[in-house]
Structure 1
Amino acid sequence: MRLFILAIAVTLLLAVISLFVGVSNVSLQTLFSSDAEGRAMQVLLVSRVPRTLAILLAGSSLAIAGLVMQIIVRNRFVEPSTAGTTESASLGFLVVTLFAPGWPLIAKMVVAAAFAMAGTALFLRILRFVPLRDVLLVPLVGIMLGGIIGAITSFFAYRFNLLPTLLAWNMGDFSGVLRGRYELLWFGLAGTILAYIAADRFTVAGLGQDFTTNLGLNYKRVMTLGLLVVSVVSAVVLVSVGSIPFLGLIVPNVVSLMVGDNMRRTVPWVAVMGAAFVLACDIVGRIVRYPYEIPISVVVGVLGSGVFLYLLLRKRQNAA
């Protein structure tokens, strides 16, 4: 319990630091100065606070989505960016942009979530026909499926001159977050709460269909609920701030090493650690090339790929 309180305190400290890091001079002195225009306060309320809230919501919800996917697939190396979920959401966002560009953002999010759910279901369907003698084959199948879907998306984006737009979607970045442009991420918080409420059901479903049925639970409904949580969170994050790779892989695995595999216990940890990790990466991205920014997807991708390789090698060593 003390460690969890410490993790919350560190996350809050990083959130406060995030409010005062940036090109515009926002400090306690400028906030309470007698500036007639109140520029520092405007920057704080219009940009810094929404950005920090977006980071907290995106980090926690995407980490939870990775945890849910790992539980229902029963593989520690799976998350939305290694299962074709993110690429499917991008394809859905491209389709709705082509055929209904005037639709509101929430409608585009619904379409992207539907495509994400279909892509994830296809991934699970493919796994039934693949002889999985090694746990590492599961993420490889997902990466290959995501590559195929991504290639199709890139082709149509190039065909209709939307390739720069597609690259902007896939490049996770919080620099454009302003008040009024991040509120869809609150759906991610709803997904996090739903995952916590259904944590016991997901844990049981992760033990297999026969075991779940013997305990009186509807296996298909639990799986559908899990797919819904993962799809909505992936779509919301994509349409709001872009793609953030490996986040749903790193945080759940680190938390599992710390506190075990009981989902009821790990959900709060994963949410807090996911938010803290993205906050730290975003602060690093703003400081390394100050006054320029490195997109959050680049920072998380570099760190995430390193952790992913470490987990793979560690798994190999344990198996040997």
Structure 2
Amino acid sequence: MKKPKFVPILIMGTAPLFIVFTIALSILYGTKDIDVTTIWLAITQFDSGNVDHNIIMQSRLPRVLAALLVGAFLAISGAIMQGMTRNYLASPSIMGVTDGSAFVITICMIFYPGMSNFNLIICSMIGSAFGAGIVFGFGSLMRNGLSPVRLAIIGTVIGTFLSSISAALSTYFQISQDMSFWYNAKIHKVDPEVLLLALPFGLVGLFLALYIAKSITILSIGEDISISLGQRTKWVKAISILIVVCLTGTAVALVGKIGFVGLIIPHITRFLVGVDYRFVIPCSAIIGGVFLALCDVGSRFINFPFETPVGVVTSLIGVPFFLYLIRTRGGERRA
């Protein structure tokens, strides 16, 4: 069914309002409530001796910006994976991409504990490629292994295996406390320096995603149709994989593993704007960023005044959605 063109325009046009509202909400509420006047003064007349000002500028503002970025990164990655593979269950968390990142970060923390934040992001990207390569490699070796449900099962098994190995290594080498950040997605502990480093990678990934958006739309219809139209499908897939590795690796290095954002948001976005990836990608970024930031706000009140990992909230929403997709769409292979 063709969607009205005004819907993506409406989403992108109102995005600044939703983003500003989400940022304000995230800064206002937490263990310590902060009033609007204090927020304004912290931004315009920062006082390093004021505790509230430091909470805003050093903790809550970087936190909500990280949530917006990571939500956008994971949503774009999921949208591209689903369009490229025509697998409605494809997402970074299910296909072993995030688990691969966390696994390689564990190895690096053991053998190169003093590495720079830049190298950390690069290693996380390598891990993303490693995890995805194993999952799709196993899938291609099995009969019907690339079907949505079977690939999801393979991804879950490989992801669990990598997580178990990582947990065992971190316990043996006594770095469990350090690794808990990447496995529990503690956004409130985001490093502002890593946040600044993540911006260029995110912009590159977004630019490339928009650049190949039209090609992804054609590829999502069918590879045979794509080839008949003269599209270089191998190049499109190569660039798509590069984008997923870049964005997911950066997201994991920034805040750790977060599940289901890349699964849920692309489906919601396509329901709203249709299957044209020129609209799906930017709208997924907007909806994904706001979604994760709001989940982060909600996570603060589940066990108030203690912090609950935001991954718990996304899983509470994502698991029923995942089961719903399997029940309603079975083993069909679609965009």
Q: Give yes or no for TM over 0.5.
A: yes
The one of 17, 20, 30 aligned to 1:9 = 17
Aligned to 2:174: 161
Aligned to 2:55: 43
Residue 28 of structure 2 aligns with an amino acid whose one-letter code is: F
How far did residue 215 of structure 1 move? 3.2
How far did residue 151 of structure 1 move? 2.7
Q: Residues 168 and 222 from structure 1, CA distance in 2 versus in 1: closer, same or farther, beyond 3 angstroms? A: same
Q: Residues 193 and 106 from structure 1, CA distance in 2 versus in 1: closer, same or farther, beyond 3 angstroms? A: same
State the distance in 2 between where 1:98 and 1:9 align: 43
Q: Residues 158 and 46 from structure 1, CA distance in 2 versus in 1: closer, same or farther, beyond 3 angstroms? A: closer
State the distance in 2 between where 1:74 and 1:53 align: 31
Residues 246 and 301 of structure 1 are in contact (CA less than 8 Å); yes or no, is this contact kept in structure 2?
yes
Unaligned 5+ runs, structure 2: 1-5
The one of 244, 266, 274 aligned to 1:260 = 274
Question: Which 10-residue stretch deviates more, 130-139 or 256-265?
Answer: 130-139
Q: Residues 48 and 269 from structure 1, CA distance in 2 versus in 1: closer, same or farther, beyond 3 angstroms? A: same
Deviations for 1:65-113, whole angstroms, at most 9, x for unmatched residues? 1111112221011111111111111121122222222220111221221
Counting only pairs closer than 5 Å after superposition, residues 90-169 of structure 1 correspond to structure 2 as 90-132=102-144, 135-169=148-182
Aligned to 2:210: 196
Q: CA RMSD in A?
A: 2.6
Q: Provide the aligned length of Structure 1 versus Structure 2.
A: 319
State the distance in 2 between where 1:27 and 1:313 align: 46
Residue 234 of structure 2 aligns with an amino acid whose one-letter code is: K
State the distance in 1 between where 2:192 and 2:131 align: 31
Partner of 2:304, secondary structure, is coil
How far did residue 25 of structure 1 move? 4.4
Residue 196 of structure 2 aligns with an amino acid whose one-letter code is: E
How does the TM-score come out when normalised to structure 1?
A: 0.89
How far did residue 24 of structure 1 move? 3.6
The one of 78, 94, 104 aligned to 2:90 = 78
Unaligned 5+ runs, structure 1: none
Residue 42 of structure 1 aligns with an amino acid whose one-letter code is: N
Residues 149 and 331 of structure 2 are in contact (CA less than 8 Å); yes or no, is this contact kept in structure 1?
no
Q: Residues 45 and 128 from structure 1, CA distance in 2 versus in 1: closer, same or farther, beyond 3 angstroms? A: same
How does the TM-score come out when normalised to structure 2?
A: 0.86
Aligned to 2:3: none
How far did residue 317 of structure 1 move? 11
The one of 250, 274, 292 aligned to 1:236 = 250
Q: Residues 145 and 56 from structure 1, CA distance in 2 versus in 1: closer, same or farther, beyond 3 angstroms? A: same
Aligned to 1:66: 78
Residue 243 of structure 1 aligns with an amino acid whose one-letter code is: K
Partner of 1:301, secondary structure, is helix
The one of 167, 178, 183 aligned to 2:196 = 183
Aligned to 1:54: 66
Residues 25 and 40 of structure 1 are in contact (CA less than 8 Å); yes or no, is this contact kept in structure 2?
no
How far did residue 296 of structure 1 move? 0.7
Q: Residues 307 and 11 from structure 1, CA distance in 2 versus in 1: closer, same or farther, beyond 3 angstroms? A: farther
Q: Residues 151 and 288 from structure 1, CA distance in 2 versus in 1: closer, same or farther, beyond 3 angstroms? A: closer
Residue 142 of structure 1 aligns with an amino acid whose one-letter code is: G
Question: Which 10-residue stretch deviates more, 74-83 or 44-53?
Answer: 44-53
Q: Residues 13 and 162 from structure 1, CA distance in 2 versus in 1: closer, same or farther, beyond 3 angstroms? A: same
Residue 100 of structure 1 aligns with an amino acid whose one-letter code is: Y
Residues 102 and 257 of structure 2 are in contact (CA less than 8 Å); yes or no, is this contact kept in structure 1?
no
